[in-house]
Amino acid sequence: MAVLVTGGAGYIGSHTCLELLNAGYEIVVVDNLANSSTESLKRVQELTGKDFTFYQTDLLDQEAMEVVFKQNKIDAVIHLAGFKSVGESVRLPLRYYHNNMTGTLVLCQLMQEHAVKNIVFSSSATVYGMSDSVPISEDFPLSATNAYGRTKLMIEEMMKDLYESDPEWSIALLRYFNPIGAHSSGKLGEDPNGIPNNLMPYITQVAAGGLNELHIYGSDYPTRDGTGVRDYIHVVDLARGHLKALEKVVSSKGIEAYNLGTGRGYSVMEMIASFEKVTGQRISYRITDRRPGDIGVCYSDPSKAERELGWVALKGIEEMCRDAWHWQSNNPQGYQKEKPILFTGIS
Ligand code: WQD
């Protein structure tokens, strides 16, 4: 049984591919390398000792994607490919709608044509918008406060319509909270383009000397120490959640959303303290104004995934910090990225 992993060279993708191969799955990877490198796939191959097929292809290239489906017996899809920067999506909404929405449309149309109706979709906790209560469960109201979050929300809605039109589909919508950390080998990890938007890669680059101080966005939130609280989840736990969702979509029909989080929230100050404790690195920081669009507190109720998928996050915050630092200190320049193929279209 071949599993097509779109975006398989990325941060979540490479960790998911490693878990799939180690579990004995045959995989086919599609990635346009816009935000990733084949180096991550080479390392997945080294770590697992297993080969797999890779296409450097853009989902928007319908002809190229047709070839993927014709050349491989795909039984299920794990769809991770997509742009994911909130800030960039506000500046370039059309690029985000075209890439994330049209790319998913092309994928789903090809799946339908080839009678492949099992899909695990990479959604996000951003579909809960500015939720005013925690812990967040899957039945909370959905909304979006930026173009990126709206693409995730609209794709979820599109998939619900798809299932309504054809109950033969089996769809899992995985709402990620805050993935951080890296594989324990230190060979895979998060390698953002340019200055990191997210907290943990910023911290590890300060620790590595690439950035001189962390700006803490606000210390006047209604939290233990005034700084923002999030539900950080180890990327390996997150990857393993995809395998549990895959098992479910290949064995039943329907469409369900699942929170992939730990159910615990940590503040920025607590993350800094934990990182300094387990790595011995000191993180200099400065408190600055709140980041527009940020919420104060966000963490999950992950009990539905535990109940229905038999999945629970096992790794604690110290292991997340240790593994994040192990990756960054072993790879101060991340992966050396190749030139991506970007399909012509709306920019
Ligand atoms: C975490 C906390 C910041 C950076 C983002 C995406 C979201 C999802 C998860 C994809 C907040 C604070 C951060 C910094 C800081 N990704 N912070 N200084 O904003 O919860 O969500 O990642 O689905 O779409 O928006 O994560 O890591 O950016 O911020 O103080 O330099 O760290 O204010 O409290 P966020 P984050």
Give the number of the atom of ligand 1 that is nearest the alpha carbon of residue 290: 33
Give the number of the atom of ligand 1 that is nearest the alpha carbon of residue 149: 24
- Reported as a pLDDT band with limits 50, 70 and 90, residue 132 is confident
Residue 30 lies in a domain: yes
- Report CA(291)–ligand 1 centroid distance (Å): 9
Residue 341 lies in a domain: no
Residue of the CA atom closest to atom 28 of ligand 1: 198
Mean pLDDT within 74-87: 96
Query: The tokens of 330 are what?
Result: 């072993």
- Report CA(230)–ligand 1 centroid distance (Å): 8
Angle 322-328-333 from CA coordinates, rounded to 5°: 180
Which residues are near ligand 1 (CB < 6 Å)?
Answer: 84, 86, 124, 126, 176, 178, 197-199, 202, 214-217, 228, 230, 268, 291, 294
Residue 90 lies in a domain: yes
> Does position 347 have pLDDT exceeding 90, yes or no?
no
Residue 345 lies in a domain: no
Strand duo 118-124 + 170-176: pairing: parallel
- The pLDDT tens digits for 181-221 are 999 999 999 999 999 999 999 999 999 999 999 999 999 99
Mean pLDDT within 28-42: 96
Residue 342 lies in a domain: no
Please tell me which residue in 148, 163, 221, 335 is annotated as part of the active site.
Answer: 148
Mean pLDDT within 99-121: 98
Residue 272 lies in a domain: yes
Give the number of the atom of ligand 1 that is nearest the alpha carbon of residue 124: 23
- Report CA(180)–ligand 1 centroid distance (Å): 11
**Domain count along the chain:** 1
**295 in the Ramachandran plot: left (φ > 0), alpha (ψ -120 to 50) or beta?**
beta
Residue of the CA atom closest to atom 13 of ligand 1: 199
Residue 196: CATH number of its domain: 3.40.50.720
Percent of the chain scoring above 90 in pLDDT? 95
Residue 335 lies in a domain: no
* CA distance linking residue 287 with residue 264, whole number of Å: 24
* pLDDT for position 344: 53
Mean pLDDT within 161-184: 98
**On the CB side of 158, how many CA atoms lie within 13 Å of its CA?**
18
Minimum mean pLDDT range among 205-214, 257-266, 331-340:
331-340
* pLDDT for position 201: 97
User: What is the separation of C-alpha 73 from the centre of its chain, rounded to a whole number of angstroms?
Assistant: 25
Mean pLDDT of the chain: 96
Which residues contact residue 311 at a Cβ distance below 8 angstroms, ignoring those fewer than 6 apart? Answer: 240, 241, 244, 245, 260, 305
Which residues contact residue 254 at a Cβ distance below 8 angstroms, ignoring those fewer than 6 apart? Answer: 163, 167, 170, 171
Cα–Cα distances in angstroms (integers) from residue 213 to residues 208, 220, 288, in the given order: 11, 20, 12
* pLDDT for position 336: 79
> Does position 303 have pLDDT exceeding 50, yes or no?
yes
Residue of the CA atom closest to atom 14 of ligand 1: 199
Residue 337 lies in a domain: no
Mean pLDDT within 35-48: 97
* pLDDT for position 337: 65
Mean pLDDT within 35-60: 97
Domain holding 19, by residue range, is 2-330
- Reported as a pLDDT band with limits 50, 70 and 90, residue 346 is very low
Among 121, 199, 297, residue to substitute to test ligand 1 (most atoms within 8 Å of Cβ)? 199
In three-state secondary structure terms, 145 is coil
* pLDDT for position 36: 95
To which H or E segment does residue 230 belong? strand 229-230
The reply to whether omega before 135 is within 30° of 0 (cis) is yes
Mean pLDDT within 7-20: 98
- The pLDDT tens digits for 217-258 are 999 999 999 999 999 999 999 999 999 999 999 999 999 999
- Reported as a pLDDT band with limits 50, 70 and 90, residue 19 is very high
Active site residue 163: no
* DSSP code for 210: S
Roughly how many angstroms between the first and final C-alpha of the chain, as a whole number? 36
> Does position 305 have pLDDT exceeding 90, yes or no?
yes
* CA distance linking residue 69 with residue 48, whole number of Å: 25
- Reported as a pLDDT band with limits 50, 70 and 90, residue 338 is low
Among 100, 146, 175, 230, residue to substitute to test ligand 1 (most atoms within 8 Å of Cβ)? 230
Residue of the CA atom closest to atom 18 of ligand 1: 216
Angle 42-44-49 from CA coordinates, rounded to 5°: 95
* pLDDT for position 341: 65
